Amino acid sequence: TRDQRWEMRVTTLADGRRIVHLVDRTGSYATERIRVDFVANASHELRTPLASLLGYVETLEDGAGEDPGLRERFLKIMHGEARRMQRLIDDLISLSRIEAEKYRAPDDPVALGELIDEVCLELSGVPRAGDVVTEIAEVAPVRGDASQLSQLLHNVIGNAMKYGREGTPILVSLLPEGDSMVRLSVTDQGDGIPPEHLPRLTERFYRVDAGRSRTIGGTGLGLSIVKHIVERHRGRFDIASVVGKGTTVSVLLPLAAVIKP
Ligand code: ADP
């Protein structure tokens, strides 16, 4: 088919006969394509705030800096653009770290309940739509990497804060799931996500509403980082959403005692 890539190799034997090998390179070709697209997208995402920063610097240099009101306004915008680049670079670094460690299963026992409390505390200074309500059951530790699980919580709870509706609570719950897993759920009462977008949310840089996500401070990398972390922890991940009602992100993680080394 059109999407298939073959590589041909020819070996000549001592008696002059030739053997033709056909090697299927479709998989590595697709991986290469994803890598090229990723670099292009990342560069584009960084170039936009950088162009804006340069524009403001030049305008200030051209004399706008002499007007104190204008100067203050421009500096504020420039600060915002620099922050955006910083968030993007932080997310890119996280993503490449997690990917580099893809084949090594993390194996520290992690008390997820405590980690949830910690992350909620860290996020308490972040502007948000409503209160965070936690419902944490006594569950055994999961086996994993505490800093990656903390990042997963940051991204998922952070999204509920960003996309939840003003004045409505965000529910974070941790419950046992059968006798070998725990279920972490984060529910908000925001605008929800139209069903056609759901399968694509974990793609890098995919956003339902790019303009809104950008002004809110999104990079479009949060959920792809979550997906990688869940995969590394041999867990499962699911997003259920109803437009106009809200979104629930669930993450299932295996208990430490269950995984064989
Ligand atoms: P971003 O950094 O833009 O938030 P994510 O990868 O975390 O990127 O999420 C991808 C997109 O999924 C977001 O841009 C947003 O459109 C949508 N999204 C994620 N979480 C929610 C949520 N809780 N409610 C509504 N939309 C969401």
Q: Are 192 and 209 in contact (CB under 8 A)?
A: no
Any ligand 1 atom below 6 A from CB of 193: yes
Report which residue type is found at 258.
Answer: V
* ipTM at complex level: 0.98
Q: Are 185 and 170 in contact (CB under 8 A)?
A: no
- 215 pLDDT band (50/70/90 cuts)? confident
- 115 pLDDT band (50/70/90 cuts)? very high
- Compute the distance from residue 239 Cα to the ligand 1 centre, in Å: 11
Is the dihedral angle over the CA atoms 199, 201, 205, 210 positive or is it negative? positive
Any ligand 1 atom below 6 A from CB of 247: yes
- Compute the distance from residue 52 Cα to the ligand 1 centre, in Å: 24
* 120-132 confidence digits (pLDDT tens): 999 988 877 678 9
Cα-based distances in Å from 4 to 28, 29, 31: 11, 9, 13
With the most atoms of ligand 1 within 8 angstroms of its CB, the residue from 162, 170, 223 to mutate is: 223
* 192-212 confidence digits (pLDDT tens): 999 999 999 999 999 998 877
Buried b (16+ CB within 10 A) or exposed e, 214-241: beeebbbbbbbbbbbbbebbebebebeb
CA separation for the pair 42, 221 (Å, rounded): 10
Q: Are 69 and 58 in contact (CB under 8 A)?
A: no
Q: Are 228 and 98 in contact (CB under 8 A)?
A: yes
Place of tokens 């800096």: 65
With a pLDDT cut of 90, the percent of the chain lying above it is 67
Any ligand 1 atom below 6 A from CB of 213: yes
- Compute the distance from residue 56 Cα to the ligand 1 centre, in Å: 29
Q: Are 196 and 239 in contact (CB under 8 A)?
A: no
Any ligand 1 atom below 6 A from CB of 159: yes
* 80-113 confidence digits (pLDDT tens): 999 999 999 999 999 988 888 877 778 899 999 9
With the most atoms of ligand 1 within 8 angstroms of its CB, the residue from 198, 213, 241 to mutate is: 213
CA separation for the pair 161, 149 (Å, rounded): 18
Strands (E), the chain: 6-12, 18-24, 108-110, 132-136, 142-144, 170-177, 181-188, 236-242, 246-254
pTM for the structure as a whole? 0.84
Any ligand 1 atom below 6 A from CB of 208: yes
* 10-29 confidence digits (pLDDT tens): 999 999 999 998 888 877 77
Beta carbons within 10 angstroms of residue 160's beta carbon: 26
